[in-house]
Amino acid sequence: MMAKNSKNLFSEENLNVEPIQRAKTIPSRWYFEPDLFEFEQHYLFQNHWQYVCHENQISEVGDSYTTNIARNPVIILRTADHEVKAFFNVCKHRGGPLAVKKGTKTVLQCQYHGWTYLDDGSLRGIPDWNLVELFDKKDFGLEPVEIKVWQGLIFARISKTTPELSSLLSGIEKRISPINLGDLQFHSEHVYDVECNWKVYVDNFLEGYHIPIVHPELANLLDYREYVTETQTWHSLQHSPFKAQESMYSQNGGEAYYYFIFPNMMLNILPGRLQVNTVVPVSPTKCKVIFSYFYDDVEAKQKSGLIDDDIAYSHDIQLEDVEICEAVQCGLQSRAYDQGRFSVKREQGVYHFQSLLKNEFRKAIQKS
């Protein structure tokens, strides 16, 4: 599956995990080589749980949400029995995409030639099929996709070889208690197209080292000296107290948690508010970042203007991050750069992510 030069991409030196005090950052080629991108699609994104949407984004019977997991189209829907089910969004006739038709029964209909499926995935209706021989509908049901719901958040995986979702998220529930993300209401989704490899964006999320330079306004809000990064097996947490002054984020008291869940999901949790970010790889040098906003009381917070302020503020910060990430992508692709080093004090999260990545690549190579 890999081209000839993959050996160099995955040399022992590149895969070796050294202590942070001595470690180098991952090689620059990992941020733009098409072979590596393909490898990640196949061995990383097909092999890990991916966040899809919140349960209350599909609260009514027949509601659905479509997404792609490592280029596999997936549809999640609320069935007539009020269950959440997921299937590959691929019709068994000639691969067309499905849409949900609401009625007395929830039915999935292919948007190409109109084959219909029940919400358990079984094939129901086929137009103009009477002359076909040696055909059994039972062999042409939709492929199911495994899903799990944690605190209202729906995750899907298309391969069984992944670590369990519970180990990915272990300890978060206890840490954020009494907050329960399942109680929050969905507000809106915002998509940013970013001209950088998905890992540039993730690296950037994982450290507060850049805050004083890239986000001077945010630096005024946070107590940067108290900024802490904690790492667990499959996720890391950054938190920082707000400075005492009044701001829309400090007024409720409580703490802010910025979680990163391997490989590409972020949970930004503040009292009464959740922002989920998913970093979707698009090409070796492009990604899409989806921001989903949730609040404990959308109506009240909308009235008070808090939601507009929150989204506008996050948008400004995001534009600063996008600008620096796109510049970093150019730097990584330049002749001047290959590998750098880490601040032991400020870049624990980036080191943790890059070490997990190396371990996952090593496992994948051993299997492939």
- Residues across the chain: 368
Q: Which is nearer to ligand FES, 129 or 300 (CB)?
A: 129
**Tokens for 131?**
């002359």
Q: Which is nearer to ligand FES, 91 or 202 (CB)?
A: 91
* Alpha-carbon distances of 150 from 55, 87, 180, 349, rounded to whole Å: 9, 19, 10, 23
Which one of 11-19, 89-97, 151-159, 191-199 is the stretch in contact with ligand FES (CB under 6 A)?
Answer: 89-97
What residue 115 binds from Fe ion, ligand FES, none (CB within 5 to 8 A, per partner kind)? ligand FES
Tell me the longest C-alpha to C-alpha distance in the chain: 76
Distance in Å, CB of 113 to ligand FES, minimum: 3
- Does position 175 interact with ligand FES (CB under 6 A)? The reply is no
Q: Is 151 within 8 Å of 117 (Cβ atoms)?
A: no
Distance in Å, CB of 90 to ligand FES, minimum: 9
Q: Which is nearer to ligand FES, 121 or 241 (CB)?
A: 121
- Does position 108 interact with ligand FES (CB under 6 A)? The reply is no
> For residue 68, what is the enclosing H or E element?
strand 64-69
From 93, 105, 243, 346, residue interacting with ligand FES (rule: CB under 6 A): 93
Backbone angles phi, psi at 122, to 5 degrees: -75, 145
Give 12-46 as a DSSP string. Answer: HHHH----TTTPBPPPGGGGT-HHHHHHHIIIIIT
Distance from C-alpha of 20 to C-alpha of 343, rounded to nearest angstrom: 8
Q: Is 110 within 8 Å of 98 (Cβ atoms)?
A: yes
The residue with its CB nearest to Fe ion is 321
From 119, 207, 321, 347, residue interacting with Fe ion (rule: CB under 5 A): 321
Q: Mask of contacts with ligand FES, 50-79, x by CB under 6 A?
A: ------------------------------
- Does position 94 interact with ligand FES (CB under 6 A)? The reply is yes
Which one of 15-23, 29-37, 108-116, 258-266 is the stretch in contact with ligand FES (CB under 6 A)?
Answer: 108-116
Buried b (16+ CB within 10 A) or exposed e, 280-295: bbeebbbbebbbbbbb
What residue 363 binds from Fe ion, ligand FES, none (CB within 5 to 8 A, per partner kind)? none
Buried b (16+ CB within 10 A) or exposed e, 218-233: bbebbebeebebebbe
From 10, 37, 115, 353, residue interacting with ligand FES (rule: CB under 6 A): 115
User: What are the residues binding ligand FES (CB under 6 A)?
Assistant: 91, 93-96, 110, 112-115
